[in-house]
Structures are given as C-alpha cells and as structure tokens.
Structure 1
Amino acid sequence: MNHNLLKGKRGIIFGALNEQSIAWKVAERAVEEGATITLSNTPVAVRMGDTNKLGEKLNAEILPADATNVEDLEMVFSKSIEILGGKIDFVLHSIGMSPNVRKKRTYDDLDYDLFNKTLDISAISFHKMLQVARKLDAIQRGGSILALSYIAAQRVFYGYNDMADAKALLESITRSFGYIYGRDKGVRVNTISQSPTMTTAGSGVKGMSDLMDFSERMAPLGNADADDCADYCVVMFSDLTRKVTMQNLYNDGGFSGMGMSLRAMKQYSNGLDESTTE
C-alpha cells in the first residue's frame, strides 16, 4: 500500500545486488512511496549482479563505486545531487562482506589482513560515507541515514565470525557520528538490526538455515523478511521519525527480547528425548 511517505524526497541506495538483497527491496519501496533515487554498488557487483535491471525498473541512475574509496563516495554524492536536482534526503548503507567467512577461516584463526578488509568494507565504509556527505553538505537538514546491522554485534552467534566485530563497530560509528551530524546539521543516523535474512551475503554464513529456523522459533512474531525491513526503512526515511537518531533499532519479530520461547524449548526437549533413545 502506497502512503506517499517519501513524496518529493531524494535518496541513495548502496548495495542492491539482486532480488534477494534487502537494499533491492528498500529501493523498490522508496520509489513506491514517491522518492527518486540513485543506486550504487561496486563496479564488479554492477557487472555481475542485476543492479542494471533494477535501475531500468525504477528509472534510477546507477553510479558504480567502491564504498571504501573516499573519491568514489565523493563522486556518488556529487553526481546524485546533480541527477536528482538537490540535496539528498536519505541514504541506505547495505554493505557487508567478510573475506574470512568466504575462506572459511574460524574466529580463532583469522587472517588479519582479511580482518581489516572486513572492517573496512562492512563498517569503516559507513564512517567514510558519513564524513564525505557532511563535508560536501550533501544531506538535507532533517535527512535520514541508515545502515543495516545484526544482533551479533551484542551477542555471540556461532559462525558469524568477524562480521560480529564489524557490526559492533558499525553501531558505534552510528552513535558517535550521529551526535555530530545531528548537532551540526540536524541529520539522523541509525542502524536497523534485522532478522537473519537469506541474502547473497547471508548465505555465506555457516549454519544460516539453522540460525533462521532457530530465530523463527524464538521470535514471537517470527522472522522479519527483506520486505519487512524495507517497510521499516521507509518509515525511518520519512518525516514520521524526525526525532529518532543514534539508535540501533530491532526489526526481528521480538527475537532480541527473548530468552527462551515455548516453540524453541519443545524442539530442544524433543532433541533430548531422541538422543536418550539412541
């Protein structure tokens, strides 16, 4: 349902790769709600993924860029202002990747060069994005900038590896920069901590399907999917949340508030019963 929550607003969506991507869903919903946007992803992702297809569908120009490169980010913000006809109202950072996870390096046997890349891609790129936007004065007063996080920033989840450290850093950057950006420019900076979602990046996490099943059993409302996250992002981009900043906001069906659910306990008990009969 269209509520015109973003009518007349201009946005940049980083990270839309294919239809599985949360950023893809956010881009679609933002345009449905009246926004005009540009899309950005790495040159390799644009070539290998379906970003061009999304750009054609939404009439959105694609600006290939490496989000870890300051000059590339300067280009994205400057060109987006030119293309969209004014300062930017909202930005989504949906960027995350761990070379250690891809290479199946466990947390107690990390390659530190790869660890630095994980942090740079998944978290420090957000700081660079914020710093570039502020220096260029690219964001409209009252604008909203979001990054996607995960509860592994606060709790240990087997297999999430060094991405947990990256998400913790991402949330810290949100608070520290959110204070400065809010004080000086009135710009909101928040993270959304999403349920485990089977995106291209998420599928690389060890035991992802089991984790999704566990969280589905634990969360009173079940897992939030990519479409749910897109709806939440639209609300956070809108003027309805103009006083919300420096927050990590959970979109996880209530999982973050749970200790043990009845469904999860029953599954656990059944597993114990089966193991004692073997």
Structure 2
Amino acid sequence: MHQNKLKTKREQDEKVNGGKKGLVLGVANEHSIAWAISKRLAEEGAEIAFNYQNEKTASHVIPLFQSIDSPFYERMDLTDPNQVTEVLEKLKQQFNGELDFIVHAVAGGPHKGELSGKYMEVSLDGFVQSMVISVYSLTDIVKRTFKMMEGRNASILTLSYYGSEKVVKNYNVMGVAKAALESSVRYLAADLGEFSIRVNALSPGTVKTRAASGIGGFDSLYEYTSQHSPLKHNASLEEIANSSLFLLSNLSSGITGQTIYVDAGYSIIGNTHE
C-alpha cells in the first residue's frame, strides 16, 4: 500500500503543472524570458493565455502562442484600463472563472537615453511611466483577477533584476522600479495569503533580451557577470524557466513574498560592474 501511494505521488509530480490554467504577460518574441517560461509550463501540461502589446508585436508572438496550442491571446495594453477590463472579462469566460497562475514579465517606461548616464537625469514622465508599467501593472492585474485564483493554491510570479538591490551602471530608473516591484511582491503576498495565493519574484541574472538591449553598455555587463559569477556563466533561459516552473507549481507551496535569484550566483559576489 505504501509503495502504491509513493508511485501515485511520483506520477502526479511528473507533470507538476498539468491541468493548471494561467496567464502570461509580456512575451515580446521568441527570445523573451516569458516565452521560455511559457514553453516549460506547456511541456508540463499547463493551459496558457497570453496578451500582446500591439499589432506591431502580434506578427512575432501569435505564431508562438499557436505553436503551443494556446486557447486565448488578445491585444491588451496594461496601461489602458478599459482594454484590460475587456480582455480579462473574456479570459474569465474562457477559463470558466478559474486561474491557477500568473507570470508578469512586463517592464518599461524609461525614455530614450535614460538607461545610460546618470540616474538623476531621469525625466518625471520617464519615472512615472517606469513605475506604472513595471510595478503598478502587476498590482492592477492581481486586483482584477485574484477572485479567479481564490482557494486554488495559485501562484503569481514577476521578474526582477539585481539592479533593484545594488547599483548597476546604466540600469538607473529601472533599478528603482524593480526595487518597488519587489516591495510590491511582499505586500501582495501579505494581502493574498489568506486566499491561498502566493506571490514571488524571480530575479534572473544578465540575460540577452530585447529589453536588455536598451541598457547602455549591456554587452560589457553581460561578459562581466558571466566571468565573475561563481558558476562562470550567466543563467540560461532553460535554468530560469525551470526555476519558474518550481515557483508556479505546488512544489513551492510554502514560499511566498520572496525574491529568488537565478543568476549563477552572481548576486552573492561583493563587487559590481564598473
């Protein structure tokens, strides 16, 4: 009997996200961290809904969504409250009012040139937009969807970066926004715990994405962190996706309000890129 129970448990764990329904926000192209996470979740049997920002990105991302048989993908600008309301109502109908996870991989807002030079040169508009897009968008989506996740041992995951904790050259206002995002994770985790909903942040190391290309001196930063991390490489998309799968599954049921680093250990080193 004991062996049969263990076998059943192993079989259940083989597909740790099988049958779960989730929403992934922020896939920009096939090189996005959000897409790597989505593919990993799909491999485990998750049913995933997506948004895309505008028609310009549609041609890049819709074929990706179709490749994993996504049942739902809609244009949704997270700064447009009416559009968000409309799309989430459609999502509620698609998933019969049930949602098991959210991946929030949304960041942006700085104006051209504000991710180089000095942080204090940031414009008011660039600062506000960085906070709205990178931070408030998570809070807004959670506020609108938590009833769909209530009592389902649901998990919410957002993406941060080491620049939230230490000064990273040229990261500037995005470092400030990521610090606010990590603080929001803690407050949201406190708010939602009673509803059996967990909220965590994953902090990948230096990864080559479209968003990262806007950071001044990024190639130099990428090489530096690769050479100086304890594992002597930057975390791969596969490693990041595997860690995300853990945080979005029931295997991490005791973890909430945390920022988990997946950066080949770089964040434990006492020096930063110069």
User: TM-score scaled to structure 2, two decimals?
Assistant: 0.88
Query: Match for 1:79 among 78, 90, 105?
Result: 90
* Cα offsets for 1:146-192 (capped at 9, x unmatched): 00000100100001011001101100110011101112x11000000
Match of 1:62 in 2: 73
Partners of 1:260 and 1:172 in 2: how far apart?
A: 24
Query: Match for 2:222 among 206, 209, 212?
Result: 212
The SS at the match of 2:38 is helix
Q: Which amino acid aligns with 1:55?
A: F
The alpha carbon displacement at 1:70 in A equals 3.3
Taking only aligned residues, the RMSD between alpha carbons, in angstroms, comes to 2.1
- Bigger shift: residues 104-113 or 162-171: 104-113
Match of 2:122 in 1: 110
Query: Unaligned regions of 5+ residues in structure 2, if any?
Result: 1-12
Match of 2:133 in 1: 121
Query: Match for 2:265 among 254, 263, 268?
Result: 254
Match of 1:275 in 2: none
Partners of 1:252 and 1:99 in 2: how far apart?
A: 24
* Cα offsets for 1:6-63 (capped at 9, x unmatched): 111001010111111011111111111110011112124543x511111210111211
For this pair of structures, how many residues does the alignment match?
A: 258
User: TM-score scaled to structure 1, two decimals?
Assistant: 0.86
Q: Is the 8 A contact 2:114 2:172 kept in 1?
A: no
- Give runs of aligned pairs for residues 4-43 of structure 1, distance below 5 A: 4-43=15-54
Q: Percent identity?
A: 29
Q: Which amino acid aligns with 2:141?
A: M
Match of 1:160 in 2: 171
- Bigger shift: residues 66-75 or 141-150: 66-75
Q: Is the 8 A contact 2:115 2:171 kept in 1?
A: no
* Cα offsets for 1:100-125 (capped at 9, x unmatched): 35566642211111211111111111
Partners of 1:66 and 1:260 in 2: how far apart?
A: 38
Q: Is the 8 A contact 2:42 2:48 kept in 1?
A: yes
The SS at the match of 2:111 is helix
Query: Match for 2:63 among 49, 53, 66?
Result: 53
Partners of 1:248 and 1:104 in 2: how far apart?
A: 23
Partners of 2:73 and 2:179 in 1: how far apart?
A: 30
Partners of 1:239 and 1:9 in 2: how far apart?
A: 11
The alpha carbon displacement at 1:260 in A equals 5.6
Q: Is the 8 A contact 2:54 2:75 kept in 1?
A: yes
Query: Unaligned regions of 5+ residues in structure 1, if any?
Result: 269-278
The SS at the match of 1:8 is coil
- Bigger shift: residues 147-156 or 80-89: 80-89
The SS at the match of 2:270 is coil
The SS at the match of 2:34 is helix
Partners of 2:28 and 2:107 in 1: how far apart?
A: 12
Partners of 1:31 and 1:118 in 2: how far apart?
A: 30
Match of 2:208 in 1: 198
